Structure 1
Amino acid sequence: MSNRAAIIHTPKAPLVIEEVEKYTPGPQELLIKNTSIAFNPIEWKVARLAILPIEYPAILGFSFGGTVEAIGSDVTNFHVGERVATSGSGPGNKYGAYQLYALSKAESTIKLPDNVSMDAASSVMINFKTVAAILTATAGLDSPKLEQVPAKGKKVLIYGGTSSVGSLAIQYATQAGYTVISTTSPKHEAFVSTLGAAKLIDHTQTEDALREALIAEGPYQLVVDTISLGRTVYITADVLKAQGGGTLYTLQPPFGPETLPEGVTRHFAPYTSILAEPEHKSLLEYLANDYLPKALAEDKLKPIPIEKVNGGLAGVDAALTKGFGGLSGVKMVLNPQG
């Protein structure tokens, strides 16, 4: 079968379906028949706002899952026909999720236990990798364990527990022994309350009340703003100011002038690439080969609710439009095969 992809040719242009190369995997790569694309907010921001500099034409998409179609010459731990999920293997259209067949680096790919759905796995891949890169590889927190660990007596603030990154960060930090404070809305509290946070604060209350409630739960060893918009950045920065300053970890850079309180600095990095650095090889191997597959199989890592999108590749552009229009508390997933 030939390969087809949903391609964006110029900034902010609609995606079009075209024939593309069916790739040959390199020595440490897999060719995957893609049956589950998971959409992420950064993708519709790139597609509709062109917020990041990329080369065009481009095949977007970070997270996907499917079956192994072919393996590279040096790959020994994967076999043709195995069910896998992957994310963020690197720059280049051959790794983009919005196509029928895509390449993945073996080190960024996990095997799926029989009881784990493809959509559940693809929906967490890039965001779990982001969480690990922020909390452990960058901020130095311990990684999660499948067995219960003693409480460390240290608090972590995860602002935005309803988001995919936020919900995964709650579980990651909790399972590493940290006491997590997070935010949600009454609409999504029932789900977020199952993730392990010690306390959830209603982010729909007035800004002053929200700020006071967050400060009252501190001080925090780490503050992560998984929403990272102007309003939330200023609220979480004030939380850090109240405890003497510190680093505010965000999921995107400021896109205009920004004045934070004295002693507070904003940190953003291309998190998806951090785990590929040599010093984090052991962390990536532990998460990909041990923790993540088992946590999904044992229901110790819960993805946010999944919303199926129809239409195959032709449905990708509509999904980006829907996400750009506003989406909360769900992860859109699509089978590009139709």
Structure 2
Amino acid sequence: MTSNKAAWIKGPGSLVEVETVEKWVPGGGELLVQVEAVNFNPIDAKLQRSNIFQPQFPIIVGFTFAGTVTSTGPDVISVKPGDRVVVARWGQTGSDNKFGALQKYALALEENTLKLEPEISFEDASGVIANLATVVSALNIYMGLSLPPITGKALPNGKRVLVYGGSSAVGGLAVKYASDAGYEVVTTSSTANKKLVEERNAAHIIDHCQPKEDLLRELRGHGPYEGIFEAIGSQTTTQLVVELLRETGGQFFSTSPSPGDGQIPNNVQKKWAGYSETLASQEANRELRAWYLERYLPEALKNRSVWPNPALWLKGGLNSTQEALDLLYDGKVSGKKIFLNPQD
């Protein structure tokens, strides 16, 4: 029997260790997947290097992956061995290492799994499923914006939204999603990534590399905004959006807490949540989850009406995990998504 290997983080700040682990046996409602594409997100690096989320070590990180089903447990009906699938690690699986993406064979819950058609790539599917769920949750549940149609675009509704960080993995998806829903989207990008953002149909792209006062003046000039989504989640971007709202007051939604949040003035509110988890796991959002996973996402992947940032594949399989986490934590990846194949 082929053995399993996993990339472990055994303590706060500890370097990744690749070790042989058990090849898991799926239980009721579970399946075992040969992992062939792991999509890295900033939270993976923060779990290793920051205490913001207070994980229980040792951990196997990685929250989205794609691959081939090798076996299924009792009561699994939507997929069978040999099927190509994409998986999001939601709900109870988030703290269970058997479901961590960074291993050769990972467990998945059937309810968090989407069967893929042959024409859909592993990197497109794993690069979208959780990041787009974040966007759906942030924009529709928390910000109260309208849904886009399953296919095509809604008519313009005359409302503007600001997505700060239009070339980021989540920000780019938010730009396209909000634009398809009929909103006029104002976003930011470097000149190097401007073309990437233009493809997402942003109405206005502001150069975030210009002097801060010029940047703020331009952001204010395109307002007022129906909602503000800060898609980077860093201390620097938080401070910038706080400065944008300092005089008028208001709220914005961010993808992550950051150092210094306690010093935000009283008239400005930064709101953050585990957006993807809210959509996937809260009973109140069951209908929206079904719309997303059963209708919108399959059609969006099939028609490529949404897509991830270009892939940066690292060679070396699981042995490249630490390199990936370092690149993310040090902010050395711009306009790309990091992937590796644990089977390499």
TM range (shorter): over 0.9
Q: Deviations over 1:238-274 (max 9, x none)?
A: 33345x4322111111323543344211111122310
Q: Deviations over 1:147-186 (max 9, x none)?
A: 3212221111000001001001111111112111100010
Unmatched tracts of structure 2, length 5 or more: none
State the distance in 2 between where 1:174 and 1:36 align.
29
Counterpart position of 1:15: 16
Query: Number of matched residues?
Result: 337
Counterpart position of 1:24: 25
1:175 is the counterpart of 2:180: yes
1:246–1:213 CA distance, 2 compared to 1 (3 A): same
Q: Deviations over 1:204-259 (max 9, x none)?
A: 111111111111111111101111223322222233345x4322111111323543
State the distance in 2 between where 1:256 and 1:193 align.
32
Counterpart residue identity of residue 28, structure 2: P
| Aligned-pair CA distance for 1:49 | 3.3
State the distance in 2 between where 1:30 and 1:285 align.
20
1:229–1:319 CA distance, 2 compared to 1 (3 A): closer
State the distance in 2 between where 1:260 and 1:122 align.
35
State the distance in 1 between where 2:310 and 2:100 align.
24
* Aligned with residue 330 of structure 1, among 320, 336, 341: 336
Of 35-44 and 71-80, more deviation after overlay is shown by: 71-80
Counterpart position of 1:60: 61
State the distance in 1 between where 2:238 and 2:260 align.
13
Counterpart residue identity of residue 18, structure 1: E
State the distance in 2 between where 1:239 and 1:323 align.
27
1:40–1:257 CA distance, 2 compared to 1 (3 A): closer
Counterpart position of 1:43: 44
Counterpart position of 2:233: 228
State the distance in 2 between where 1:295 and 1:70 align.
28
Counterpart position of 1:110: 114
1:154–1:131 CA distance, 2 compared to 1 (3 A): same
Counterpart position of 1:238: 243
1:1-338 matches, cutoff 5 A: 1-89=2-90, 90-145=94-149, 146-241=151-246, 244-256=248-260, 258-275=262-279, 276-325=281-330, 326-338=332-344
Structure 1 length-normalised TM: 0.94
Counterpart residue identity of residue 178, structure 1: Y
| Equivalent residues of 1:113, 1:293 under 8 A apart | no
Q: Does the residue aligned with 2:259 lie in a helix, a strand or coil?
A: coil
Of 280-289 and 166-175, more deviation after overlay is shown by: 280-289
| Equivalent residues of 1:241, 1:262 under 8 A apart | no
Counterpart residue identity of residue 343, structure 2: Q
| Aligned-pair CA distance for 1:47 | 1.6
Q: Deviations over 1:262-315 (max 9, x none)?
A: 421111112231011111112112211221122122121121111111101111
Structure 2 length-normalised TM: 0.93
CA RMSD of aligned residues (A): 1.7
